[in-house]
């Protein structure tokens, strides 16, 4: 297995590196990451080729693509609120960066590219569950950038015959997802507050829902896609149709931690969607053996890592 992973020092990327090395100890893995949000400590000591650099450096991406059988393109500036505060860097990294990765794959004859899109592309569409055939209306620059990411990937299949697969991730959680920055995701933020005895800050009423997906399951799907060179002319939701409100998540955390947690409500966040739940029809068709990890099991593994 010869794979270039962009963003491989980040949360999902470093879990993926470990997952592949466990399964294929002789795998040839290259990681390209600018360490803007990723951490070297996530991948230190692992038998991979790490390059600190940017996906905006086309020649570097092209060199790293050479000889690879697949590219898993995870590098991006994540987070809805970060993109609302800083739209231009989000545009450059997520849209121009994706174009660079696809161009590099095309020029080097790399057969297969998987890109990371997001449930944020559905935006203001209230339909539930969210099917890949529903219309999309991103509500944030981040959502727009992910729509462009998947749009480019699919267009490269039609235009150049590159085998591409655009996964729409829904709230992914698990070990190595950090809480120590302003734009942290909700599960590490809640865990960090809970374990240090601070109140959990809930934006709005807490009835907003998310389709939380365990990172191990995401890695399993990506590796299966690499193995079988799965590609698709439609984006693919990578989530299982669970619909957990933040209040229900807090209840589950209270059970797992055996404590009563204090909650503080603050204003709803600009650009946040109210409800998110995937329709899994395409996922089940392409990955018939993939099974979800129950929230309580995934939270247990995440708490153990914290
Ligand atoms: P992350 O921030 O931990 O990982 C992204 C990585 O990309 C980081 O290591 C960062 O340093 C790197 N990076 C950023 N800009 C770069 C650049 N210009 N050149 C090279 N490296 C760069 O985030 P994550 O949660 O692991 O997300 C991985 C991918 O999945 C992203 O594309 C994200 O948009 C997408 N996604 C994540 C979620 C989620 O719930 N975590 C949901 C939907 C989509």
Does the ipTM exceed 0.95? Answer: yes
Among 57, 270, 242, residue whose Cα is nearest residue 143: 270
Q: CA–CA distance from 298 to each of 5, 122, 132 (Å)?
A: 24, 25, 26
Tell me which residues have their CB closer than 6 angstroms to ligand 1: 6-7, 9-13, 32-38, 54-56, 74-78, 93, 97, 116, 118, 169, 171-172, 185
Condensed to tens digits (0 to 9), the pLDDT of residues 94-112 reads 999 999 999 999 999 999 9
Q: Which atom of ligand 1 is nearest to the CA of 117?
A: 44
**pLDDT above 80: residue 299:** yes
Q: Which two tokens stand for residue 294?
A: 């129950």
Distance 79 CA to ligand 1 centre (A): 9
Q: Which atom of ligand 1 is nearest to the CA of 75?
A: 7
**pLDDT above 80: residue 37:** yes
Neighbours of 116 (CB within 10 A): 28
Output phi, psi for 226, to 5 deg: -65, -45
Condensed to tens digits (0 to 9), the pLDDT of residues 243-252 reads 999 999 999 9
Condensed to tens digits (0 to 9), the pLDDT of residues 183-241 reads 789 999 999 999 999 999 999 999 999 999 999 999 999 999 999 999 999 999 999 99
Q: What's the per-residue H, E or C state across 182-223?
A: CCCCHHHHHHHHHHCCCCEEEECCCCCEECCEEHHHHHHHHH
CATH classification number, 2-174+213-240+278-292, choose in 3.40.50.720, 3.90.230.10, 3.60.15.10, 3.20.20.70: 3.40.50.720
Query: What is the residue extent of each domain of the chain?
Result: 2-174+213-240+278-292
pLDDT band at 88 (very low <50, low <70, confident <90, very high): very high
Output phi, psi for 200, to 5 deg: -85, 125
Instruction: Tell me the best of 5, 72, 76 to mutate to test the pocket of ligand 1, counting ligand atoms within 8 Å of each CB and taking the most.
Output: 76
CB 9 within 8 A of CB 39: yes
């Amino acid at each position: 297995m010869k794979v270039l992973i962009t963003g491989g020092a980040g949360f999902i990327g470093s879990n993926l590196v470990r997952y592949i090395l466990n399964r294929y100890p002789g795998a040839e893995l290259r990681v390209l990451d600018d360490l803007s949000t990723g951490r070297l400590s996530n991948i230190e000591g692992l038998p991979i080729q790490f390059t600190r650099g940017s996906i905006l450096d086309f020649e570097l991406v092209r060199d790293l693509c050479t000889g690879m059988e697949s590219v898993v393109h995870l590098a991006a500036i994540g987070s809805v609120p970060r993109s609302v505060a800083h739209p231009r860097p989000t545009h450059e990294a997520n849209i121009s960066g994706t174009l660079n990765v696809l161009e590099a794959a095309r020029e080097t004859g790399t057969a297969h590219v998987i890109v990371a899109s997001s449930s944020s592309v559905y935006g203001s569409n209230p339909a539930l569950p969210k099917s890949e055939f529903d219309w999309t209306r991103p509500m944030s620059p981040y959502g727009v950038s992910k729509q462009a990411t998947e749009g480019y990937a699919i267009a490269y299949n039609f235009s150049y015959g590159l085998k591409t697969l655009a996964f729409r991730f829904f709230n992914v959680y698990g070990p190595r997802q950090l809480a120590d920055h302003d734009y942290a995701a909700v599960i590490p933020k809640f865990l960090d507050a809970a374990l240090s005895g601070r109140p959990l800050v809930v934006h709005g009423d807490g009835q907003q829902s998310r389709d939380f997906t365990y990172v191990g399951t995401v890695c399993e799907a990506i590796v299966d896609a690499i193995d079988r060179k799965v590609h698709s002319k439609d984006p693919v939701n990578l989530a299982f149709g669970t619909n957990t409100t933040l209040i229900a998540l807090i209840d589950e955390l209270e059970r797992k931690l055996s404590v009563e947690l204090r909650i503080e409500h603050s204003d709803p966040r600009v650009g946040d969607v109210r409800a998110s739940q995937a329709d899994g029809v395409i996922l089940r068709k392409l990955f018939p053996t993939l099974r979800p990890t129950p929230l309580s099991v995934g939270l247990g593994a995440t708490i153990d890592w914290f």
